[in-house]
Amino acid sequence: MIEPLRKIIHIDCDCFYASVEMRDEPTYRGIPLAVGGAADRRGVIATCNYEARKFGVRSAMSTYKAIQLCPHLKVVPPDFPRYREASLQIRAIFADYTDLIEPLSLDEAYLDVTGVDLCKGSATLMAKEIRQRIEQTVGITASAGIAPNKLLAKIASDWNKPNGQFLIRPEDVSDFITTLPAAKLWGVGKVTAEKLSKLGIETCLDMQGWSLAALVQNFGKFGQQLYDQCRGVDSRSVAPHERRKSLSVEYTFDQDLTTEESCLSKIPVLFEDWMKRMKKSASEQPHKAFVKIKYADFSQTTMECVCEQPDLHTFEGLLKQALPRKQQAVRLLGLGVRFHDKAPLPEGIQLPLWQDGDY
């Protein structure tokens, strides 16, 4: 029996935090705006609007550098309660269309609408209606990608940003994927993209000329994923209840920590914060405890141990072991746990890409 063709929608709100800020404060509209920490406190940009992006401002950029690029940039601190409230409104809209919702963040999710009868069964019309409802109800815009699998849907949602959507029909996958830059594939970051380029691989068509064995030889296990992705193949199913693999907290300090004593003095506060978050994950069983250190030169290291009931002394001990690895001041400390693996999640079934269907 042939499985029904999957219809996957990827919804991604446009510059979410900044959009909520502009919604609530009209004077922020039309000017370069970013949400993040203060420049004099080693702040980092969480997100920014499109006016700021024209100057080269990007997420994860230091606020100091962002202001250098855009001196008149308005930077506001994040207000997560408001963002969570907006996220809950968006999630409620998703739930009107399907139970198969896989959140990726507060403002981004996959929806599997295979077999849904709403909007005449058209995933394209559902995506359009969802976006309209988000704008009317929440007061911000969102973009969408519609495709036969998660890989292509996520790529498609970025195609007509902001406030747009893009459809990749099953019969269009082959033509679309051959012209796609290899750097757009899932899991390909800056380092991997540079390595691909050195090997002469710029597009997915270039990658299709490489055998599976050659890709695995150059990229290890990730080579198998590259082999599939460059052909538009992605067997991952939308996973509404995918479990958390770890839980940690970390903090970047206004001033570098220069002694072991000063580093150890920060652990109790981090531990208290971590304990509060652990109470919300009571069903998970810790397996390993770890500490993370980022030094003044931005290099970092972690130290971990098997421990099912870590306490304050566990993390203090790990920190003492890790600190001597480098004679550098410390700019960031983190601590947390990795959870026990439970029964493996079932593998998604690769469905036929070329079956006709109403998208």
Q: How far apart are CA 183 and CA 189, in angstroms?
A: 7
Peptide bond into 32 cis (omega under 30): no
Residues 130-167: b if buried by 16+ CB within 10 A, e if exposed: bbebbeeebebbbbbbbbbbbbbbbbbbeeebeebbbb
Q: How far apart are CA 309 and CA 322, in angstroms?
A: 20
Q: Is 228 annotated among the ligand-binding residues?
A: no
**How many Cβ atoms from other residues are within 10 Å of residue 185's Cβ?**
21
Q: Is 40 annotated among the ligand-binding residues?
A: no
Known catalytic residue at 108: yes
Token pair for 332: 């960031």
Token pair for 174: 């082959």
SS3 at position 36: strand
SS3 of the chain: helix, strand, coil, percent, to 5: 40, 20, 35
* Per-residue CA distances from 25 to 85, 89, 106, 224 (Å): 17, 19, 21, 48
Question: Could you give phi then psi for residue 44, rounded to 5 degrees?
Answer: -130, 145
- Active-site residue, from 108, 242, 260, 347: 108
**Closest listed residue to residue 17, CA positions, set 72, 63, 59:** 59
Q: Are strands 108-112 and 33-36 parallel, antiparallel or unpaired?
A: unpaired
Say how many CA atoms lie within 13 Å of 286 toward its Cβ. Answer: 22
Scanning the structure block, which residue is given the tokens 């001990």?
A: 317
Written as one string, the DSSP assignment of 252-263 is EEEEEE-SHHHH
Q: How far apart are CA 247 and CA 306, in angstroms?
A: 15
Catalytic residue list: 108
Binding annotation: 12, 107
Binding annotation for Mg(2+): 12, 107
